[in-house]
Structure 1
Amino acid sequence: MVGVYVESACTTADMKVWIAIDSDSTVSFVAVKLHSESSMGEIYMIAVDPDYQRQGIGAALVVCTYVIFTPSKSACLPGFVLELNIL
């Protein structure tokens, strides 16, 4: 049931999703809801696989969402692949 909710929430037109991948496995994701009327966004959902928690991956994804929506963009997750709108 939770998986269906997550998938449907992450595939709406106003949602952008970034995932962290390690060795071809998704280890974390963050979903950002965009509000075009105010040119703002909010972190709607974030999750980290329990085996990868307490390694800074969730925090790095939060920083990435900030970096991506600001003029200066930089590498967010060294050692991990960051992909856009995979879900």
Structure 2
Amino acid sequence: MAATAIALAGWGLAFAVAAAPAPWYYWRSLVDGARVCAQVSPGPGWERDSAAFEGPGCQPRRKVLVVPMSSSAGVAGLCQSRMVISKR
């Protein structure tokens, strides 16, 4: 019985770790047209008014800029400069 409980707890933990946060949406009131940002509907009388946002608080996801390094100043160049610094 204890082994089954441990196995189920481990299985549940595996899904919890892989779960992604809920997306954010703008919601518009059908009564007065007010807009709010929330992950779930504020209740009856509201309709979703935007596409999903991945960032918190209806902010777009940050873009990461990847700058490729030239082959002449690649990893070997960085390692050599670190070795010189570490010798001092």
Do they fold alike, i.e. is TM over 0.5? no
Larger Rg: 2
Q: TM-score if structure 2 supplies the norm length?
A: 0.22
Q: TM-score if structure 1 supplies the norm length?
A: 0.23
Higher relative contact order, chain-length normalized (CA < 8 Å, sep 6+): 1
